[in-house]
Amino acid sequence: MSMHQNDRFDRIGDISTDGRVDKAMGSQSFNFSGIDEAYLPKYAQKHREQCSSAATPLGAEKSELYEKLSEGKVTLQTSDGLDVEFLVDFNAKVKERQESQQSQPTYHDELPTTSTSSEPAPLVEHYVPEEERREYGVSHMKFSSEEEKRQAQIKSLYDMTAETEKMRAKNKSAADEKARAKREKLNALRRRKGLPEIRTPSPEPEPEEPEVNLEEIPLPIEKPLRERERKPEREWDRGKGRYNTWIQKQRDERDEEFAPPSFYYQ
């Protein structure tokens, strides 16, 4: 080997375990097969010896011990009976692994219990005429095409409407009675303390709907035809009217001898 190659190996940095040479500005791979060991620096030979020691029985024992510690099969203790403190918490790693295995469902749990094929779910209809009419309202009622049955259905609709009105009036009277009892209880307490009583609110009269005469409603005033057909003049149409006027003026002043035939304008 030349001196130039020897100087090149002197400038090389650390050699990693896979035979790669790391420089200050990057990394470059070298194959040391075929190179005499005498030309390699001492630190390179020492590093290769350390890398080769991983295949020794001591390195195998270390890797086996690490696997047992990571799986929680072995616990190391000092002479005082205390657990050895490592930079890696092996107990926490074993606990995390067990929790992750328990949380993940197994393949057998995902399989169906019965071998019968699952039937498709029934379609959900938007409107079911057989259900209670109150769920949908009057607009969803389905009347029969037969006159007698149709009249019976209309009568049942009116009966349900009257029943609803009675229920509303009953609920309103119950609410008024409850409010009156509460007000009397408060008035008795206020009389004991010498405070003025709460007045009973007068019932609010229901607003009467005024009768509307359709003939009194004024109809919209129709605009004249000329105003409706009038359109705003566009910017690119300005001046065209004067041009057409000038053309018509020239045609009027033109001699009939030079005019086009009459069928030309038809």
Q: Which of 80, 21, 12 is nearest to 41 (CA)?
A: 12
For helices 57-71 and 90-103, give the axis angle rounded to 10 degrees: 60
Q: Which of 95, 86, 96 is nearest to 65 (CA)?
A: 86
Strands 27-29 and 20-22: antiparallel
For the chain, give the mean pLDDT.
71
The confidence score (pLDDT) of residue 3 equals 45
Q: What is the pLDDT of residues 171-189, one digit of tens each?
A: 999 999 999 999 999 999 9
Q: What is the pLDDT of residues 228-238, one digit of tens each?
A: 666 778 888 88
The alpha-helical segments, DSSP class H, found in 104-196 are 107-110, 147-192
CA distance 75 to 83: 7
Higher pLDDT, 77 or 200: 200
Question: Is the whole model's pTM more than 0.75, yes or no?
Answer: no
Higher pLDDT, 170 or 261: 170
